[in-house]
Structure 1
Amino acid sequence: MLPKKRRTLPRPAILLELVCHALMGTALGLSVRLLLTFVDNFGIARLIAHSSTPHQTFAILIGMVTLPFSVGATLTGFVFTMMEER
């Protein structure tokens, strides 16, 4: 009996699942960023408003809050998908 050959290319469904996980993480990161800036208990909105370049500071905040959520959700989705494949 011949041993099973491993697939060299991932299935397109796996890539679609990873994209979905990345989008879910991005949405979660954006919602956390919205909470941080619009609920001014932390004073972040005041810090952004009084900075020398508020638009750039706001854009950096969006990136720094959203990116870890997106990457984390993608990696978690990858692990879950690989566990299902086994």
Structure 2
Amino acid sequence: MQAEVPTSLVTQAQRLIDAGWFGRMDDILLDALRRFLDSHRDELMEDFIRQDMEWGLEGDGRREILAIFEQLPGQSSLYIKKSLLQEVIQSLRG
């Protein structure tokens, strides 16, 4: 992985290495990336979920969801299943 890093950040990172807080620059970069991803985990998950819902509400995803509902036991009427699907879609759209 390559990245352009401002000189001021490189200088600060080097000071941490010189002071013994980190062994090398890679350690600092891994720690920074890990902390960033941890602190944004909820946002990332919301984005993934939103993308999945959008996929599910359009085209093939909608057909796949309908196919799942058609296999549900205890609901003999396709109309009821489609109605239930529409309720799920409306609740996801919010």
TM-score using structure 1 length = 0.36
Q: Which structure carries more relative contact order (alpha carbon 8 Å, separation 6+)?
A: 1
Which structure is larger by alpha-carbon Rg, 1 or 2? 2
TM-score using structure 2 length = 0.34
